[in-house]
Structure 1
Amino acid sequence: MRQHLIIILLALSLPILAQDYPDLYTKSLNINQTGMYVLGGWALANIATGAYGWSKYDGNQKYFHQMNLFWNTVNLTIAGIGLYSASAIHTDPSVMNANSILSAQQKTENTFLINAGLDVLYMAGGYYMTHLSQKKGKYRDLLNGYGKSVMLQGAFLFVFDLVMYGIQHHHGNSFGGALSQVALSPNALTLRFVF
């Protein structure tokens, strides 16, 4: 009786175990790569318009464009690092086991979620700078321009990070949920059913 039960459980788990986790993780890396291209494109557009606006305008518009340029040099650097990290040369999923793939996927999702929380702080900081600009005569234009820029950049990053989290979380459910339902050890096959 026990052998029949093990055979039935193994037959039920084979479709889950047969999934190609390296291919699924490669898709996750491709999602990140696409996201980094979007971030890099946003950064390049802001650097170009920031440089133009900084040279053309005065007052708070000058500082708005100046901060956009500064902020997006950092974004461009992050996008470059992200593209390097998502490249197949840097990360070879075929040498990773299923648990390390799941761990890396969860880390990716958590990173985007944490970043979205930080983006809220950026927007709040930008709002605070614009609020301070009403009281500071000497630095009024600087605080107002920088504050508006930080709010804009924070808002973009908030949307970007939430969208990336949503896409990665949805993708992660395609293999992360199944992986957590099956555990193999030398002496046991464990299946967990969640209703």
Structure 2
Amino acid sequence: MNDNFFAFQYHALKPLERWGAGSVIGGAVLSLLPGFWRHFGLQAISWGAIDWLLAIAGRRQALLKAEDLVAGDLDESAAHAAAERMRTILLVNAGLDLLYIGAGLWLLRAAGDRADRRGMGAGILVQGLFLLLFDSILAAEINRRWIPPSP
């Protein structure tokens, strides 16, 4: 099972699931506070819920495909193609993460005295930074472990 890309994917998505759940819980607490923290918390809830749901769906799909690979219903070429697709998705997402970070920074700067807008910008910035790290590190790991070097 160590050489099973789908088993790797299943485990690799666990940090995203934890981040998402933690963001929802932490955001719910922060949203009870006024101003900056309320809007920071609302961003955490929104982004966290999406991350959490994507991670759960991705982990479930990976588990099913890992079982199919072990059972012989999928072959290694399907696993290789899935690794390449996931790496591509992660790299595109990393580019989008840079846009999120930029948008969060812009909103922080443009907000002036509006604590709600600064909280929103900071919330977007934090989520974008995490996602950039997660997507970049996971794409590099997939590239290192699952994508053979070009001749």
Q: Could you say whether these structures have the same fold, taking a TM-score greater than 0.5 normalized by the shorter chain as the test?
A: yes
Structure 2 letter corresponding to 1:109: R
Q: Check 1:161–1:96 CA distance in 2 against 1; reply closer, same or farther (3 A cut).
A: same
**What is residue 59 of structure 1 aligned with on the other side?**
35
Pairwise CA distance, 1:97: 3.8
Unaligned runs of 5+ in 1: 1-21, 181-193
Structure 2 letter corresponding to 1:80: I
SS in 1 for 2:64: coil
Contact kept, 8 Å, 1:84 with 1:90, in 2: the verdict is: no
For the residues of structure 1 that align with 2:85 and 2:65, how far apart are their CA atoms? 20
Structure 2 letter corresponding to 1:85: Q
1:1-195 pair list within 5 angstroms: 24=3, 26=4, 28-55=5-32, 57-88=33-64, 92-93=68-69, 94-134=72-112, 140-173=114-147, 176-177=148-149, 194=151
Q: Give me the identity figure in percent.
A: 21
Pairwise CA distance, 1:164: 0.6
Contact kept, 8 Å, 1:59 with 1:141, in 2: the verdict is: yes
Is the strand fraction higher in 1 or 2?
1
Contact kept, 8 Å, 1:31 with 1:168, in 2: the verdict is: no
For the residues of structure 2 that align with 1:168 and 1:113, how far apart are their CA atoms? 11
Pairwise CA distance, 1:99: 3.4
For the residues of structure 2 that align with 1:102 and 1:65, how far apart are their CA atoms? 39
Unaligned runs of 5+ in 2: none
Pairwise CA distance, 1:119: 0.6
Structure 1 letter corresponding to 2:132: F
TM-score norm. by structure 1 comes to 0.69
Q: Check 1:122–1:166 CA distance in 2 against 1; reply closer, same or farther (3 A cut).
A: same
Alignment root-mean-square deviation, CA: 2.1
Is the helix fraction higher in 1 or 2?
2
Contact kept, 8 Å, 1:126 with 1:150, in 2: the verdict is: yes
Q: Larger Rg: 1 or 2?
A: 1
Pairwise CA distance, 1:101: 3.0
TM-score norm. by structure 2 comes to 0.87
SS in 1 for 2:13: helix
